[in-house]
Amino acid sequence: MNGFSVSDYDLYLFHEGTHYQSYKIFGAHIVEQNGQAGVRFTLWAPNAGSVRVVGDFNNWQGDSHEMVKLDNSGIWSLFVPGLREGDLYKYQIITYQGEVFLKSDAYAFFSERRPGTASRVASLHGYHWQDACWYKHKNSRSIYKCPMNIYEVHLGSWRCGLPETGENVYESDQNDRSLSYRDLAQQLVDYVYEMGYTHIELLPVSEHPYDGSWGYQATGYFSVTSRYGNPHDFMYFVDCCHQKGLGVILDWVPAHFCKDDCGLRRYDGSALYENENSLRGENVQWGTANFDFSKNEVWSFLISNAYFWFDVYHIDGLRVDAVAYILYLDYCKQPGQWLPNKYNGPENLEAIEFMKKLNLVIFENFPEALMIAEEATHWPMVTYPTYLGGLGYNYKWNMGWMNDILDYMKSDPLYRKDKHSLLTFSLMYAFSENYVLPLSHDEVVHGKKSLINKMPGDYWQKFANLRLLYAYMMAHPGKKLLFMGGEFGQFIEWSYKESLDWHLLVYEMHGKLHSYVKDLNHIYLDERCLWEEDGNWNGFSWIDPHDSERSIITFIRRASNEEDFIIVVCNFTPVVRDSYLIGVPQAGVYQEVFNSDNEKYGGSGQKNNRLIFADEFPYHGLPHSMRITIPPLAVVYLKRIKTKQSCTGRGKNAQGMCRDALSGREGQSFGDFN
C-alpha cells in the first residue's frame, strides 16, 4: 500500500453514511510511502483547528507531527516514517478556541492495557486461518433449521489461575491470573465443545477502561481488549472455535459509549459522535453518551464496526445490546428528560433506519450471519425482513419468556397453580418472531441471585427445580442461551472480579447437575424435533396446557418429518403422579428417553422403566392415550419406538459437520485489507 490512499470516493461514501469498510482508511495503518516504511494515521475531526500525532516515538510532543486536513472534509491524515507495530500513540486535538484534547484513536486496532489509555499500532494481517471447512459447512445450511445452544461467557472470570502450560498468562495479567485468548482457545473451547453447546457468546471484547462495565462501555470499538492478548491471539481463539465446530457471537453496543476523556465523547471539542442536545445525547441511567444516528458519519462508523468483526475476526454473529434504548427516545426516561421526534412521538426515527440499513449490509455480505436483538419491548417485526417493514434482525431475545418463567420458578410449588398462565402465555406469541430463550448474565447479578438460589425449597428441591427449568427450556420452541456457571449450579451471584466456583464440582449435587446439563445438551443436539421446526406451529402442539391444579403441562415437539416427535411432560410440583393419563398422536410403543429425576442426576429415581403401550382410547383430542409415571419437580421426554431408526448423532446434526472433514480442513486466509 503506498501513499495516503484516501480517495475522494472514500470521503464521499464516508460522509454519505455508506462507507461500510471505513476501517480500511481510518486509524493507524502500517504502510510504505516513497520507499519508506511507516504508519499512516487518518481520523475524522471536522471541528478541530489542528491535530497532532503524539506517542512514545516523539516523547508525546507533537510539534513535528502535525496532521494535514484533506480539503474541507474534516478528515486529517499524516504519514510518519519509521514507526512500527507496538508503538503507542494518541491524537492531540486543538480546537479553534485553543482547547486541547488528548484522544485515543476511534479506529484503533489495538490499545494499551488498562489503566493506560493510549492506542497501539497493530497489524491485522498475517494470520493464517484454518477454518475453511467451517465456512464451507456453515454456508451450506440454514441456521433456522439447525440447533443453537449458546454458552454465554465473560472471558475474564470464566476461569482464573495459572494456565496448564504455565506460559500463556498474558504478561500484564500476572496479578489477577486471567487466562489469555490462547489459553481460552484450548480450555474454554474444549470445555464448551464437550458440554454439547453449539455457540460461544462473549460479553463485549471491544476495549473498555473499566472492568466493572463488563465491556458494555467501550472506548475502542475496533480494538479487541488487550486484557487477554493481542489481535492475532483473538483470531486464534475464534479459529479454534471454528475448528471445533463452534460459532462465535459477540455482544455489540451501538446504543451508547463511555464518557471517559480519552474516548469518543466530544472527540474534537464538539459533540461529534453524540448529539449536542443533552436530552438526546446523554444516557442518564448509565452515565454514558448516546450515539447520534442523525449523522451519516456515525452510520459509517458503526456499520463499518459491525462489518469489521465479521470480516477481520471471522465472528459468526452479533448480539446487539440495548436495542430498546436505540428504538425509543423516552426509554427509561422521565418526563422532561427526552425530546420527541418530528411527529411528536417517542420513536427514534433515524435510529430505526440505521438498524434496517445495518442488517441489510451485514446480510448482503455475510448471508449466514446471526444478528440477534436484545429487545425487551413490544416493538413489532424485529426479526422480519426490512422489505416487509421489519427491523431486519434474524433473532431476538425472548425477554417475556425469561421474565415469566423465572417469576414462576421462584414461586413456592404450592402456589404455582395460581400462576399457571406464566407457563402457557409464551405460546401465544412464540412464533411471532425468531426467538432465543435467554438465561443470561443479567439474571444473576445486582441482587437477583444465582439461578440455583432463585429456586424455592430445600437443598434437594433447589436442584430438582433447576433441572426442571433447564429441561423445560430445552423443549420449549426457540434457540437456547445459558450464562456460564449455570451449568453446575453456581450458588453466589456472578462477579466479574472472580473466577467461577469450579471447586463446587467436587460436591455431589453440583457434579451431578453438571453431568445432567451435558447430557441434556447432547439430547438436544441429537433430537431434530427439538430444533428443526423452532419457528412455526409445525414443530409444536399442545397435548394439555390446562392442568393448572396439578401444575402439569404436556406438549409435542416435531421435526419436519412428522413421524419424528417427542412428547414432553413437565411436573412443577414435588408430588409424584402415578398412572397419569395423556393423549398421544399415534398408536404403538413408547419409551422414556430422558428423565430429569434420574438418580444419576441427583433425582429421586421415579422413572418409566418399561415400554409404554398406547391404547385406542382417545384423550386430549388425540386418537390414542397412555398412562405414565410423572416424577416430582421433573421433566420426562417420551418417544415412539420405530421399526427402523436412523442415526442422528452429534457429528452431523449438532454442529452439522463431520469431524473427519474438520480434521482434513484446508488453510485459508481471510480479512486481507489489500
Q: Which of 10, 173, 282, 321 is catalytic?
A: 321
Cα–Cα nearest to 395, from 479, 326, 309, 307: 479
What sign does the CA torsion over 355, 401, 539, 593 have? positive
The cell numbers describing 474, all together, are: 430445552
Q: Which of 374, 532, 534, 597 is catalytic?
A: 374
Q: Return d(Cα 327, Cα 336) in angstroms, integer.
A: 18
The cell numbers describing 129, all together, are: 486461518
Which residues touch 428 (CB under 8 Å, ≥6 apart)?
none
CA 33 to chain centre: 41
CA 101 to chain centre: 34
Using alpha carbons only, what angle is made at residue 20 by residues 17 and 22, rounded to the nearest 5 degrees? 90
Which residues touch 609 (CB under 8 Å, ≥6 apart)?
592
Q: Return d(Cα 363, Cα 317) in angstroms, integer.
A: 11
Q: Return d(Cα 64, Cα 208) in angstroms, integer.
A: 30
Peptide bond connecting 413 to the previous residue in cis, omega within 30 degrees of 0: no
Buried b (16+ CB within 10 A) or exposed e, 429-460: ebbebbbbbbbbbbbbbeeebbbbbbbeeeee
556 within 8 A of 565, measured Cβ to Cβ? yes
The burial of 55, by beta-carbon neighbours within 10 Å (0-12 exposed, 13-18 middle, 19 or more buried), is given as buried
Residue spans of alpha helices (H) in 95-213: 132-138, 155-158, 181-195
Using alpha carbons only, what angle is made at residue 55 by residues 51 and 61, rounded to the nearest 5 degrees? 65
- Amino acid occupying residue 134: W
372 within 8 A of 393, measured Cβ to Cβ? yes
Cα–Cα nearest to 149, from 531, 567, 637: 531
Q: 321 an active-site residue?
A: yes
How many angstroms separate the Cα of 35 from the Cα of each of 1, 64, 81, 122? 11, 21, 10, 20
- Amino acid occupying residue 132: A
Torsion, CA 624, CA 628, CA 631, CA 634, rounded to 10: -20
Cβ atoms within 10 Å, residue 60: 14
Cα–Cα nearest to 190, from 152, 243, 150: 243
H helix or E strand, kind and range, residue 474: helix 459-475
Phi and psi at residue 357, to the nearest 5°: -65, -40
Which residues touch 493 (CB under 8 Å, ≥6 apart)?
444, 445, 446, 447, 448, 449, 450
Q: Return d(Cα 208, Cα 204) in angstroms, integer.
A: 9
DSSP label at residue 59 = T
308 within 8 A of 299, measured Cβ to Cβ? no
Q: Return d(Cα 215, Cα 218) in angstroms, integer.
A: 6
The cell numbers describing 502, all together, are: 469450579
DSSP label at residue 382 = T
Q: 498 an active-site residue?
A: no
Cα–Cα nearest to 306, from 232, 244, 259, 364: 364
Cα–Cα nearest to 373, from 319, 331, 303: 319
Active site residues: 321, 374
